Structure 1
Amino acid sequence: MRTIFLLLFLCCGLSAIKAQQLDDVLNRYANEFTNERCYLHYDKSSYGPGETIWFKAYVLKGILPATDSKSFYVDISDDKGKLLAHNVMPMVEGGAFGNFDIPTAYKGEYLHVKAYTKWMLNFDTAFLYNKDIKILAGRPANAKPLPAVIPAIQFFPEGGDAVNGISGKIAFKANDQWGKPVKVTGTVVNNAGAKVADITTLHDGMGWFALTPKAGEKYTAKWKDEKGKDYTTALPAAKTGGVNLAVINGAGKRTINVTANAADAEALQKVIIVGTMHQFKVFEVVKDISSGSTTAVVPTNSLITGILNVTVFNQSMQPLAERISFINNDDYTFKPEFNVDHWGLSKRARNKIDILVPDSLVANLSIAITDVNIDSDSSNNIYSHLLLTSEVKGMVYKPSYYFKENDETTAQHLDLVMLTHGWRRFNWEMVTQKQFPKINYPMDSMYLTLSGQVIGLSPAQIREAGSITMLLPNPNKAPDIINLPLQSNGTFIDSSLLLFDTVKVNYQIGAKNKFGEPLVKFMPGFLPPLAKTMVASGKYNDKFGDTTGMGHHWFWADEAASLLRQYEGALMDEVVVKAKTKTRVQEMDEKYTSGMFSGDGYQFDITNETGALGAMDIFAFLQSRVAGLQISGTGANVQMSWRGGTPQLYINEMQTDADMVASTPVSDIAYVKVFRPPFMGGFGGGSGGAIAIYTRRGDDVKREPGKGLASGTAKGYQAIKQFYSPNYDNFTPDNNKKDLRTTLFWNPQVITNGHDNKLSFTFYNNDISESFRVVIEGITRDGRMTRIEQIME
C-alpha cells in the first residue's frame, strides 16, 4: 500500500510539474509570439481598368489593435502571377491605408491582393490576407458556359479522430471546385454494405451524423449531389484507442464530454482539459475518467468573443483530442450614429453626413460611399474576418452570415464551421517540448525613417568622420540639410523623419568629405517583396454570378474607360503637336555659342553635372569623358593631346591658355563644348581640336544643392494619394468633364480622439447616381469593431 501510495504521489507530482511547465510555455507563447491578423476594407467590390483601388487595413494583435508593428505591406499581382506593386504603409492605431492604380490596358479578370506585416511572416503564411478582386475589363461578350460542377466531400471526426467502440459525431463539408457549398444526401455503410448513418446537409454544404466505429470495420459514404449524381467516399479510419471529445453549446456555458474505452480509461485515470483563446489559457480542469467518461461544464459569460480552443491532455501533458468552439458574447461591437445632414441626390448635388461616435471612444474608421446600383459583396466584413476567417484553416462560405444574428440557429450553423475547420495556433508537440517559433523576420518596431549604414570605411575612419550630412529634396522650399552622428558600425538614423516615396539623397561623410564617396546603404531593414507571388485566379473571390449590379457597374466602368482613353488620346495629340521641347544642352548651346562655335561637339551642362563640383578644375572633370582626348598633369602644367595635336583653349570664345582655364573655378562655369580635330573656328589651324569654356551669366539657373556629392536612393512608404472629390459649388475646368464616378466618397482617416467625437463630411453626386450605399467600418483602441451599411435614397 505504501508503494502504491508513493507511486500515485509521484505521478500526481510529475503531472503538476508538467502542467506548470505547460503554463510557462503558454504564457511565453501568448506574450512573445502573439499572432497578428489583418482585414482590408475596400471602397467597392469590383473595378474597371484605369480606376483606383482604395483600401484601409485594420490589424489586430490578440484582441487589441496592433501597435507594435509600424509598417504594413500590400502586394498586388496579376492573372499571370506577376508582381505589379509592393506597397508599404505606416500603421497608426492599428490601421494603414493606401491605393493601387489599375493599368488602363489591364485585360485580366482578377487582381490578387496579399497583405501582411513582417511579424506575420514568422508563422503559417497560409493565413496571410489573400483576396482576388474582380476587374471589369471590357463589356462582357456572350457568357461562356461554366464548367461542370465537381463536388467533393470531406469528413471530420469531432475531437480529431474517431475511436473504435465510442459513439462520436462525424461532421462533413461538401463543396464544389470553387469552394461553393453543395447540398448532398446519402448514407454511410459498413463492410457488409449495411447502412449505419444518414447524410443530410444542414447548412451550406455542412452537416453531421453520429457513428460508433467497430474494430475491423471500414466505412464508406454513398452520396448524391443536387443533380442526383452518385459518388462514393471513404471515411477516415477510426483509431483503436484514445478519447472522444464532444463540446456542446449552451447558454453561457460549454459542456465538455470526454469518453474512452475501458482499457484506455484505466490507463489514463485522469485527463486535463485546457481552454485557450488567442494563445492565453482561459481555463484548466482536471477530471477523473477511470469510469470511462467524464463531463466538465465551463461558464463562458466572462470570456471574450472569439474562438475557444479545447484540448484534452493525459497526465503527462500529451494532447489526446482537440476541438474549437465559437464564443459569442456580443461584446465586440460599438455603434456610431449615422445621420444625413443634407440630402442632394440630384445630378452633382451636395450631400452632407454626420458620424457620431460614443463619448470617450478613440476610434479609427473608414467610410466608402458608392452608387447603390453597382455590385456589392457583403459576404465578408470586419467582424467575420477578424473574428473567424483569419483564425481558421480552409475557406468559409459567406462568413458574415454568422454575425448578422446571435441566436440559437446561427450558433448551431457556426458550430458546423468549427467542426469542419482546423485549428492553427499551436503545434502541441512543439509546446510540450518547450520549442518556440523561429523568428526569421524581426518585427517592424520602428517606422521607415531616414536611416542607413556607411559601407567600406574602417572603424577608425568612421570615428574620424563622426557624422553624415545629407540633403533631401523639398518640393516647396530649399532642400532639407540633415546631419546625423555615425555609430561605431557606421549606422545612422533620424527616427523623427518618416520617408514617403523614393527619395534621392545626396550625402557627404565627415566635415570635409575627405573619405571620397563610400557606399551608403539606405534603409537596410526595408522588406523586399516576397519571393512567391499569387496568381489572381479568382480562388479568393466570392463569385455570385453576373448580377444586375455587376452588369450596371460593368456598363459604367466601360464607359469611364472609354472616356479615359479619349482623354489620354487628346493629351497625346497635344504632346505630338506642341511638345517638341529642346534638351537642356541644346538650350545651353543656343544661349552661349555663336558663329563657328555653334557647330557639332561634345557638350557638357556643368550646372547639371553631378561630378563637376568635386573636380579640382575643369581639366580634371574632362579627363576620360571625351574619347581620344588625353589630359595629364594639373593647373598650368596640364598636358593635352588629341590626334597628335594640342587642343586650343577658349573662355567665352576668347582664346586663352591652360593656366587661365585651370584658375577658373568650376562653380563659375556653366557650359563646356569640346570640338573634334580639326577645329576651324579659331586661329592656328586647330589641328588638335578645341575646348570652349563658358562662364555663368547672371540669369543662369543656380546649381541644384547636392550636385557633385555622392548620392543614394532611400525607399520610403507608398506616396499618399488623395481621393479626388469634386466641389461643384466652385467652377473648375475639370467640371466640364462627364462625371461617371461610382465611388462618390472615400475617407480612410476618420479618427476620433475621445473628446470631440462628431465628424461631418461633404460630397457631391455624379451625373448618373440616384441613390448611394454608405459603408463605415473601423475599430476602437480597446478592440471593439463596427460596421454600418446604409442606403441613402
Structure 2
Amino acid sequence: MKQSALFLATIFLTISIFAQDPIKVLNRHRDSIPTEQLYMHFDKQAYVAGETAWFKAYVRTAGTDGLVSTNFFAELLNEKGEVLQSKKLPVIVDGSINGQFDIPTTAPQGIYMVRAWTNYTRFFDPTYLFKKAVPVFNPSTTAASADAGAGYIFEWFPEGGRLLNGVSNVLAYRCTDKKMQPALVSGNLLSSKGEDLGSFSTNKYGLGYFSFPPVKGEKYFAELLFPDRTKQKIELPAGIDNGIALNVADHEEGKVFTLLSSPSDPAAPKEVLLLAVMNNLIVLKANVELKENEAQGLVSTANLSEGILRLYAFDKSNNLLAQRACYVTLESSHVPVEFKALQKSSGPKTLNEWSFVLPANTKGNFSIAVTDADKEILSVNEENIFTSLLTQPGKKQFGNMQVKDEEVRDLIMLTSSWVNDDWAFFAKTKAPRLVDELHLPFKGKIFQEGNNKLLTGGQLDILVRTKDSTDHTYTVPVMDDGSFKLYELAFQDTARIYYRWAGSKEERPTNSEIEFDRDNSDYSALLKNFSVQQWVASKKNLLNTPSASIAAQLIADLKTTEGLASRITQKEKEEPQKKNPVGGTKDVNNRYATGAFSGMSSARVLDLVTEPPSNIQGNIFDYIVGKMSGFTIEKAAGNYAIYSSRSTSTREALSGNSRGLVPGKVYLDEQETSMDMISRITLDQIALVKYFAPGSITLPGIGLSCVLCVYTRKPEDLNNSKKKYTNSLIFPGYVSGKIFTAPDYSIDDKKRKDTRSTIYWNPDVKANSETGEIRIKFYSNDTGKRFHVVFEGVTTDGRLVSFDKVIE
C-alpha cells in the first residue's frame, strides 16, 4: 500500500552478532541451493496450425555469476497434457538456447502449453518449471473444451500471514471464476452479531483489500455478491492473540515496515529479528525493539536489483512470526534502449534498417522479433523477461505484473503465493545432488568383445566425428570397475564415435564393446500436484480475441508462403576436401585459423603438422613449455591456468591473487573452453597452437586476458596418427534445429507472393562492444504497414532488457 506522507521515527537497528538459525537456513540456500531462473522469448504470442514457433531461452542463476545447468529441456503439450514435442538443447556459455516447435497442420484449436526445465530445477516443486500458454488457432477444427465448472473462488490473504487481534491489520482478497479469470465481486463485512462493519469490492483484476482491528473472541464474516447475482456468506480467518502484525509500504527510498504487537498480550515480543532477503541473499539483518508495541523502519533499496524482496520476522526462539513478499521496481535494473528507424518503408518488399542503441560497452545476450502488427492474433504478452525471470521460480499463484499501477502491483504480491511461503518446508530443503552432466554424457563400462569380460584400468582413446566431418579427440581413464565418463560432448543430430581401449601397460589394443549407463531420470514428478487441464482452462480467455478472425487467412497464407520463410541458402557448390599440401606453417595457419585468430604477425605459433612431436607422451601444456614464450602455465590442485606477466589488475590482487595476474582465456578450435578439456587431448591429435599476448587480439569478453588457441587435426592431417581405433558406433546428439531465414529482395524474385507474419527473428543478437549499437535489416512483406518489435535480453552484469513497441 502506498503512503503519501510518513514520519519515520528514528530507531536503532542493532545488527545481531549472534548466530541465528534462520540466518543459517538462508545462508545455506545462498551457498548450496541457488535459484535457477528460466524464460523463453517467442517470436509471437499466438500461432495458427502449421506455423513454426521460434524461441530463445534464457537460463540464469539468481544472485551468482555462474550457471548450474548445461542442458535445457522443453516440451509442447496439448490441452490433455499429452507431450507432442520434446527437445533437449545445450545451454551455451552465456546461458542461452535457441530452438523452435513445429506446430502440426492438423493441430486442433486450443491452448497449448510450453513447459521447460533443467535437471537442477526438476529437484524442486513443479512450480519451478517455466510454463507458457501458446494459443493455437485452427478454425477448421477445435478441441474439446476443458470444463472448469461454474462458480467462483474467493480467498483471503492477511498481510504478514495471520490476523493479530487488538491491532489494525491489512486483509487482502482475490476472487476468480473457476477458469481463474478475475471476477468483480462486492461484499459487506459483518460481525458475529450481524453488525455491518463496512463494504468492499474487487477491482478489475479481481483484487482488493481493507484494514480493520479484529477483537479477541469475535468472529467475522463477509457476505459476497458475485457477478451471476448469487450470494455467499464466508468466514474471515480467525485472529490470533499472540504474535506480530507486519505491514509494508512503499517509500521513495525503499520499503517501510511496521511491526505491531497486541497491547493486551503480556507475552508480546519486545524484540524481533527482522531479515530482508533477495535472491537468497540477506540484505538486512537487524534486531528491532518494539516500543509501546510498535516499531518502524526502512529497508533501503538503493543498492538492490529489481525483483522480489522478502521480509521475515522471528522471535528469540527462532519462530517465524510474520512474513511478507513485496516487489522492488528499480529503473537502474532496466537497460535503456534508444530506437531509431534509419530507413523505414511500409511498401511491398522494401528494405528497412533499424538501430537499437544500448549504453556504451554494454555486452550481453539478446533476441529480437519483428512481426507484421496487422497479422498478429495476440499482440500483448502475458509476461515479459522482467515479470517472468524475477517472479516465476516457485510461484504457485501469481497475477500479471505488467500492470503499471504500483498499488495494484503490491496487491498482486499480497495475493500471490510461492512454495517457499512455507518456512518449515523451506528450512528443511536440502541441496540437491547435482546430476546435470556437462552436455551429452558418454559414459558406461567397457568389455572385451564377445566374452563380456570387463576391461579395467588403462584408458579409452576416443575420436568423435560429427556430421560436418569435424573431428575431436579425447583420452579418458578407465576405472578399476571398467567404467569411464566423458561429459563434454556437444553436437547436433548424430556423430560417429571411434574408440579403442589401451591397457595400463600399453597392451595391444583389444576389440571391445561398450555398455552405456541407462538414464534413470524420472520426470513424472514434474506434473505432480499440477493439473494441466485446470491450467489450460485458466488461459482459455486468450482464444477470445477480436483478431481471431484473421486465423483462417494466416493458414491460407502459409500455403502461398511455403518455402519462402523457411528457405535456407546453401553454398551452390561444396568445396572438395583438401588434401594435406606441403606449404609449411603459413599454409597450416591458413587452413585452420579464421577471423580474428588468423593473424600470424601478432601471435606466437607452434605448428605440429609440419614438425610433429617425436614423443607424444604428456599433454599439450607439458609440450609447449620451453617451446613458446611470453606466458606461464601453472598447475595447482589438478587444474591448469595460464598467465601473462603483462596483464595485471587490482581486482585480481584483491581477490587473493598475490601477483594480481589476470587469468588467460583458452580456445579449442576457436571456441572458448577450459584448460582441463584441452589437457585431455593427446599430442598426435593437435595441429596448431597460437598464443596472443594481452591486447593483440580483439574478441568479446577478453579484456586484459592473454589468449591461447589450440586446433585439433582435420581428417586430412590425421594420417600421421599412430593410433588405430578398433571399434566405432553412432551416438545421438542434440535435436537439430532449423535456421530462420527471410527473403533478400536485392537478389530474390519480387514477383513471388510474400505474406509472412514474422518478418525478422534473430535469437543471437550482439551489440557493438564500444558503441552499444545493434543494427538490423529486413525486407517487409506484401502488405505490412505497421511492425511490432520485441527486443529482450540479459547483460553480462545481470541487468535485463525489454523493449516492446509498434512502429508505424
Q: What residue in structure 2 maps to residue 200 of structure 1?
A: 201
Q: Distance in 2 between matches of 1:784 and 1:481?
A: 36
Q: CA deviation at 1:316?
A: 1.4
Q: Deviations over 1:96-155 (max 9, x none)?
A: 221111122222413211112222122222131111211112358999999986332111
2:796 is aligned, of 754, 777, 781, to 781
Quote the residue 2:237 is aligned against. Answer: 236
Match of 1:7 in 2: none
| Compared CA separation, residues 462 and 540, structure 1 to 2 (3 A) | farther
In the TM superposition, what is the alpha-carbon distance from 1:526 to its structure 2 partner?
A: 9.5
Q: 2:410 aligns with which of 410, 415, 426?
A: 415
Alpha carbons 2:372, 2:758 under 8 Å: kept:
yes
Residue in 2 that maps onto 1:485: 476
1:338 matched residue in structure 2:
339
Amino acid in the other structure paired with 1:62: A
Structure 1 segment 147-162 matched on structure 2, within 5 A: 150-162=151-163
Does residue 754 of structure 1 match 2:751? no
Which of 732, 739, 745 is the matching residue for 2:760? 745
1:559 matched to 2:585? The reply is no
Shift of 1:313: 0.7
Is 1:724 aligned with 2:741? yes
- The unaligned stretches of length 5 or more in structure 1 are 1-14, 403-409, 568-706
Deviations 1:445-494 (A, max 9, x none): x3336x3223446999535663244453434x5x7474533331545566
1:377-398 residue CA offsets vs partner (Å, 9 max, x unmatched):
23321122222344643031x3
Residue type of the alignment partner of 2:360: D
- Bigger shift: residues 361-370 or 210-219: 210-219
Tell me if structure 2 keeps the 8 A contact 1:133–1:541.
no
Aligned with 2:439 (options 430, 435, 447):
447
CA pair 290-251 structure 1, distance change in 2 beyond 3 A: closer
Structure 1 residues 531, 490: closer, same or farther in 2, change over 3 A?
farther
1:136 correspondence with 2:128 = no
Structure 2 distance, partners of 1:74, 1:501, is: 17
Larger Rg over CA atoms: 1
Q: Note if 1:550 corresponds to 2:555.
A: no
- Separation in 1, partners of 2:168, 2:525: 47
1:466 corresponds in structure 2 to 459
8 Å contact kept, 2:125–2:394 = no
Q: Give, as a single letter, the amino acid of the residue that structure 2 aligns with 1:400.
A: Q
- Report the residue type matching 2:549 in the other structure: G
Instruction: Give the secondary-structure state (helix, strand or coil) at the position aligned to 1:115.
Output: strand
Query: Secondary structure of 2:737's partner?
Result: coil
* 1:377-421 C-alpha deviation (Å, 9 max, x unpaired): 23321122222344643031x32124xxxxxxx221111112112
Residues 786, 542 of structure 1: alpha-carbon distance in 2 compared, 3 angstrom cutoff: farther
**Where does residue 42 of structure 2 map in the other structure?**
42
1:741 positional shift = 1.6
Q: For residue 244 of structure 1, report the CA deviation from its aligned partner.
A: 1.6
Once residues 721 and 565 of structure 1 are traced to their aligned partners in structure 2, the CA distance between those partners, rounded to angstroms, is 15
In structure 2, C-alpha distance between the alignment counterparts of 1:482 and 1:492, rounded to whole Å: 15
Q: 1:716: Cα distance to partner?
A: 2.5
CA drift of 1:726 comes to: 1.6
Q: Deviations over 1:218-269 (max 9, x none)?
A: 2221121345432322222222332222222222143322222246453533
Residues paired across the two proteins, number: 623
**1:728 corresponds to which letter in structure 2?**
Y
Are 1:49 and 1:561, in contact at CA under 8 Å, matched by a contact in 2?
no
1:207, distance to aligned residue in structure 2 (A): 1.0
CA contact (8 A) 2:174 2:207 kept: yes
- Partners of 2:167 and 2:261 within 8 A in 1: yes
1:211–1:267 CA distance, 2 compared to 1 (3 A): closer
Structure 1 letter corresponding to 2:747 = N
| Change over 3 Å in CA distance of 1:320–1:232 after alignment to 2 | same
Contact 2:69–2:436 (CA under 8 A) maintained in structure 1:
yes
| Cross-structure match for 2:325 | 324
- In the alignment, what sits opposite 1:400? 402
Instruction: Report the counterpart of residue 684 of structure 2 in structure 1.
Output: none
1:122–1:529 CA distance, 2 compared to 1 (3 A): closer
Query: Aligned partners of 2:205 and 2:493: how far apart in 1?
Result: 46
Contact map agreement 2:401 2:409 (CA 8 A) in 1: no
* Equivalent residue in structure 2 for 1:437, among 430, 455, 472: 430
CA distance in 1, matches of 2:558, 2:45: 17
Q: CA contact under 8 A between 1:66 and 1:93: conserved in structure 2?
A: no
Quote the Cα distance in structure 2 between the aligned partners of 1:22 and 1:79: 42
**Separation in 1 of the partners of 2:422 and 2:232?**
35
CA contact (8 A) 1:139 1:558 kept: no
Q: Tell me how far apart the structure 2 counterparts of residues 281 and 464 of structure 1 sit (CA, whole Å).
A: 48
Judging changes above 3 Å, is the alpha-carbon distance between structure 1 residues 26 and 565 closer, same or farther for their aligned structure 2 residues? Answer: closer
Give the Cα separation in 1 of the matches to 2:487 and 2:435. Answer: 18
Partner amino acid, structure 2, of 1:283: L
Change (3 A) 1:517 1:63: same
Q: d(CA) in 2 for partners of 1:16 and 1:413?
A: 35
Point out the more displaced range, 283-292 or 35-44.
Answer: 283-292
2:492 is the counterpart of 1:500? yes
- Indicate conservation of the 8 Å contact 1:182/1:205, yes or no: yes
Q: CA RMSD in A?
A: 3.6
Distance 1:363 1:526 in 2: 36
Equivalent residue, structure 2, for 1:80: 80
Unaligned runs of 5+ in 2: 1-14, 565-723
In the alignment, the residues of structure 2 paired with residue 216 and residue 201 of structure 1 have an alpha-carbon distance, to the nearest angstrom, of 28
Against the structure 1 CA distance between its residues 501 and 491, is the aligned structure 2 distance closer, same or farther, given a 3 Å change threshold? farther
In the alignment, the residues of structure 2 paired with residue 459 and residue 422 of structure 1 have an alpha-carbon distance, to the nearest angstrom, of 55
| 1:311 aligned partner | 312
SS in 1 for 2:331: coil
Contact 2:253 2:302 in 1 (8 A): yes
User: Is the Cα–Cα contact under 8 Å of residues 65 and 94 in structure 1 kept in the other structure?
Assistant: no
Letter in 2 for 1:76: L
How has the CA–CA distance of structure 1 residues 52 and 144 changed in structure 2, closer, same or farther, with 3 Å as cutoff? Answer: closer
- Check if 1:370 corresponds to 2:371: yes
Query: Following the alignment from structure 1 to structure 2, what is the Cα–Cα distance between the partners of residues 721 and 199?
Result: 54
- Of 318-327 and 536-545, deviating more is 536-545
Query: In the alignment, is the contact (CA less than 8 A) between 1:136 and 1:557 conserved in 2?
Result: no
Give the superposition deviation at 1:527: 6.0
CA contact (8 A) 2:110 2:136 kept: yes
Question: Shift of the alpha carbon at 1:539?
Answer: 4.2
Q: CA–CA distance in 2 between the matches of 1:277 and 1:428?
A: 15
CA contact (8 A) 1:130 1:540 kept: no
Match of 1:657 in 2: none
Q: Is the 8 A contact 1:186 1:198 kept in 2?
A: yes
Superimposed CA distance per residue, residues 61-114 of structure 1 (whole angstroms, 9 cap, x where no aligned partner): 225665342222212222332222221222232222211111222224132111
Provide closer, same or farther for how the CA distance between residues 428 and 69 of structure 1 changes in structure 2, counting only shifts above 3 A.
same
CA distance in 1, matches of 2:792, 2:762: 11
- Determine helix, strand or coil for the equivalent of 1:355: strand
Q: Judging by fraction of residues, say which structure has more helix.
A: 1
Secondary structure in 1 matching 2:304: coil
Secondary structure at 1:773 match in 2: strand
Taking a change above 3 Å as real, the CA distance of residues 386 and 235 of structure 1, as seen in their structure-2 partners, is: same
The answer as to whether partners of 2:127 and 2:419 remain within 8 angstroms in 1 is: no
Q: Compared with structure 1, are the counterparts of its residues 419 and 428 closer, same or farther at alpha carbon in structure 2 (3 Å cutoff)?
A: same
Structure-2-length-normalised TM-score = 0.70
Q: What secondary structure is seen at the aligned counterpart in 1 of 2:556?
A: helix
How far 1:542 sits from its partner (Å)? Answer: 7.2
Distance 2:411 2:272 in 1: 26
Match of 2:185 in 1: 184
- Distance (whole Å) between structure 2 residues aligned to residue 40 and residue 46 of structure 1: 14
